[in-house]
A and B are shown apart, each in its own frame.
Chain A
Amino acid sequence: MTGTLKPPFNSTDHFQGPAKAAIELVEFGDYQCPHCGLAYFVVKKIQKHFGQKLKFVFRNFPLSEAHEFAFQAAVASEAAARQKRFWEMHDILFEHQSALSMHAILGYAKDLGLDGIQFEKDLKDDSIASKVESDFENGIRSGVNGTPTFYINGHRYQGNYDFDPLAVALEAPPL
């Protein structure tokens, strides 16, 4: 209903592209959501198309009751972030949406060469779970009603997540 990103982009966010890029695209997503899985590939194309003009931010919005592995997948991405590998984990999770069990996640951490002992410790860290919950709550406050939901320069994007409409909206971003 309100459709404004709350809080705005800040230092707790994970982002790709220049921090001060003219165009900011924020996604609230769920690693087990099939729609987010499709949007993942669209976003990759969008990033390639816009290059350095675009900053892409990902925030967690796991629908844990509907998707049993969504929350732990989000936690895994945050645990990987502690070892500066958020985006690698993000990509692996979306590219393996049908295999997000804890066993699979530990395997991905190993594939990425993460410190396994530290990773497992971080998976159980309450402050990481709180970060994921806080992303979710901020999503609600921003008017997220499902996943994926996108914000362009802080304003909710109402269209669908196909490449063409999203690219058109990004070409003329709200100020």
Chain B
Amino acid sequence: MLGKGDQAPDFELYTSPDKKLSLREFKGKNIIIAFYPADWSPVCGDQISLYNEMLKYFKNHNAELLGISVDGKWCHAAYVKDRNLHFPLLSDFEPKGLVAKQYGVYNEQEGQCDRALFVVNVNGIIEWSYLSPRSVNPGADGILAALEGLDSKNKQ
């Protein structure tokens, strides 16, 4: 699993049936990448819903949130609509799990992403990462602490 100081591998993935997003487009912003096992599963639901409530707190730290799972783009589209989500979910679908593998957070047995968090700074370097047990919603305190660390670094 990649960690502090590593370059965050770039990617370009579908976020909706007709639109792709890449990491490099977000240069100049802090990026939170949340890998999660699957749309619709109950624990993710909690985690994803929680993060959906937190977007304005993330924005205060010049940060955007991207969710990544192996679910297809149509599945993401339905999930985003059902849960009223206001941040992009990306499909690590073809080749399956490629991006998760590059970040070292792919579970071969389950064929799903692990539940893992990365905070990437404005220069594309990973500032903080965390692997959560699959069934545990990691909350967001670690993300906020990492973003606050970046803020104080930028002030120096």
Q: Tell me how far the C-beta of B6 lies from the nearest C-beta in chain A, rounded to whole angstroms.
A: 21
Q: Mark B135-150, 1 if CB is under 8 A from A, else 0.
A: 0011111101000000
Contacts between chains A and B (CB distance < 8 A), count: 47
B59 to chain A: which residues have CB within 8 Å? none
Given A1-B142, A63-B50, A140-B54, are A145 and B137 neighbors across the interface (CB < 8 Å)?
yes
Cβ of B10 under 8 Å from chain A: no
Q: Which of B46, B85, B86, B139 has the most CB of A within 10 A?
A: B139
Shortest Cβ distance from B86 into A: residue: A65
Cβ of A123 under 8 Å from chain B: no
Bound complex: CA A27 to CA B141 (Å): 17
Write 10 A-B pairs (CB below 8 A) sorted by A numbering.
Answer: A63-B50, A65-B85, A65-B86, A66-B83, A136-B53, A137-B57, A140-B57, A140-B144, A145-B46, A145-B137
Task: Enumerate chain A interface residues (CB-CB to B < 8 A).
Answer: 1-2, 63-66, 136-137, 140-146
Can you add 5 more A-B contacts, CB < 8 Å, to A1-B138, A1-B141? A63-B53, A65-B52, A65-B85, A136-B53, A144-B139
